[in-house]
Structure 1
Amino acid sequence: MLRIHFTGADLAHTRIAVGPDPMWELSLSAHQLRLRGSNPFLDGWKRQVVHRLHPSGPLRARVALTLAVTPPRGYFPDFLTPFESIEGFHAGLEAVLSTPSARLNHELSMLDVGDRSQTPVIDDLRRSQPTAIAALGASMRDYHETAIAPSWDTITAAVEADRSRRVRDLADGGWAKLLNNLHPSASFKGDTLEVGRWGYETDRDLHLAGRGLLIIPSYFKEQRQLMVLADGDLPPVLLYPIDLSARLAVQAGHDSLVALIGRTRADVLEATLLSETTSAIAQRVQISLPAASKHLSVLRSAGLVNSTREQNAVRHSITPLGEKLLAGSD
């Protein structure tokens, strides 16, 4: 059982994150990618990412280090989810790559590396070798670009929908109602949040000691448990999986957009959020190049997409009208 002990000062400094945390979502999505049957709402995302990370493709090798340091079960290093990432992915990644040498060595020494091909570079990371740190940064950027960035609007919409529910709980019944409703395994009694054996099989006490708690809703968090950092001396955070109703609300909105312009065209429109070329969009949506060109032409004629030529390629970006349409679908 996990017990989180609050004081009055802690409750005064406890807050809910305003949106998804990119570094937590990166690490937890890497877990989900290798877990079977854990969340049916992630099946579509998983199929797309697995396709992009085909074992024989170049991307798989480039993200292998990220996958190696985020095993789907057991411990993964706290330094991968820095507090600074509340400011965004780039701030979070900079904090990861600036981790002090002693902490890198300590946390990576506890990691069970499943992919033995990555052991040499992880050993170099433990020694804070600049080439290894640069390799980790490149790998995490590639993984983020492949698995997180294309779905970021959906992730954000679902997290915001869940956060709205938590704010209502707080308004209706204070912190007791919010904490009691976070997860079936959680129970707030007196000044202690208890997370039962469903979430934690060993006893652990976390004393906030006036630091407060940052509660982070997560799109990719596994449903069966809550999560805290392994190191109790770090700024305290509590990760919880967003509620099913938030996922359903976002899915219903996307289904409305699909009904309006068709599933493939909706996926093409969403892909233009990344301002990519025609061939990149075709690959991302898994359609032929001529089909992608046709869909983009229709979207451009409707004022939803802008297209600009860059040497031998055409790059497409979503217009404000297109953004409003996507936002309405969320």
Structure 2
Amino acid sequence: MRALRIHFTGEDFARVRFAPRAAPLQELHAALTTAVAPRTGPLFAPWRGRVLRSLPAAAGPLADLVPVGRPPSFLDVLGDTLADGFGLIRATGPGLVRSELERVYGAVPAPRWIRGLHAGDETAWRTVRHAQLAAYETVLAPVWSVVQDLHREEFTRYALAVAEHGVAAALIGLAPGSRLHGGVWEWPGAAPARDVRLDGRGLVLLPTFHHPSGPLLQDAPGRPAVLTYPAGPGLPPAAGGAAVPAEALAAVLGRTRLEALCLLAEPHTTTSLARALRVSNATASSHAAALRSAGMARTTRTGRSVTHERTALGTLVAGGGGPR
């Protein structure tokens, strides 16, 4: 049976982390992988047709980078912005660029500009950047705010699952049908079948909302492995089609707890938080404790006074929202 098997050490479990923000180039590559897949399922088929019809000629060089369906590893980066992503790709060592292009093309003759990329030609690198930008503007720019909202919701869901059930259960929850035993996380049916040993490098989890049929794994030597896994509602994101972020978060946290998270942009005592939420002190304390256990709030005590305040994680989850 085909399967992806990720081998953890104890150190790796301590180094599992969730990408705090969506990565535009990684999401773009997931979307393009889905767009050119021969079978994508009925839900993605209309989206796939629209994408392939609308891609501009300027994006064409990206197809040259994937002649047999598996792109060079140096394209998979986690930059928070397009500029960050482009910078990380361009910073790839020339040895890795050459070896990956040789792996991708093998004995197949490469286009002239790919040969220039292999030689480190700056014009060829500009071709990559212009092609990615053209594809992003067509495929992702219209729905990028939706992707960011969905990522924040998935981030929150994972943080709460870890706080309540632990890392192992949270990992299994990301992939229905997967299992974790003997330090090995196994995804049945994943293609290609492979065994990946983390050996202390750790693992970064990144949800994608454009690739519905299995994990994409980036396994660069000397770096944490990056697992891009399918998430979201099962449909490609559509501009204007997502729920209001607050509604999505309320479905995960509960409306009162979300309101507490927003209020804690400023320090509150248990009493002042209860007054603002219009609940009892005990209920307010319970909400603060739940947020604290998920790493989204901190509590400090000075004498008999207890003060609650949002953490950086809480601010990220709330999207910067303050008291309302």
- Residues 209 and 167 of structure 1: is their aligned pair in 2 closer, same or farther, counting only changes over 3 Å? same
Q: Residue 22 of structure 2 corresponds to which residue in structure 1?
A: 20
Aligned to 2:61: 65
SS in 1 for 2:160: helix
Structure-1 residue corresponding to 2:70 = 75
In structure 1, what is the equivalent of residue 255 of structure 2?
none
The amino acid that maps onto 2:155 is R
1:1-330 maps to which residues of 2 (within 5 A)?
A: 1-42=3-44, 45-53=47-55, 59-60=56-57, 62-70=58-66, 74-83=69-78, 85=79, 87-112=80-105, 119-196=111-188, 198-204=189-195, 206-221=196-211, 223-244=212-233, 251=241, 253=243
Q: When the two structures are superposed, what TM-score results if normalisation uses the length of structure 1? A: 0.64
Q: Deviations over 1:78-110 (max 9, x none)?
A: 100124x1x322111112123222111110111
CA shift digits 1:291-326 (9 cap, x unpaired): xxxxxxxxxxxxxxxxxxxxxxxxxxxxxxxxxxxx
**Unpaired segments of 5 or more residues in structure 1?**
54-58, 255-326
TM-score by length of 2: 0.65
Consecutive aligned runs of 4 or more in structure 1 exceeding 6 Å deviation: 245-250
Counterparts of 2:127 and 2:205, CA distance in 1: 31
Pairwise CA RMSD of aligned residues?
3.0
Counterpart residue identity of residue 61, structure 2? L
Q: Partners in 1 of 2:237 and 2:98 — Cα distance?
A: 42
Report the alpha carbon displacement of residue 133 of structure 1 after superposing the two structures with TM: 1.2
Give per-residue Cα distances to partners, 1:210-229, cap 9 Å, x unaligned: 222111111122x3321212
Matched position secondary structure for 1:18: coil
**CA gap 1:248/1:99 in 2 versus in 1, 3 angstroms:** closer
Contact 2:44 2:236 (C-alpha < 8 Å) held by counterparts: no
Give the greater-gyration-radius structure (CA).
Answer: 2
- Answer 1 or 2: which has greater helix percent: 1
Question: Matches of 1:194 and 1:224 in 2, distance apart?
Answer: 15
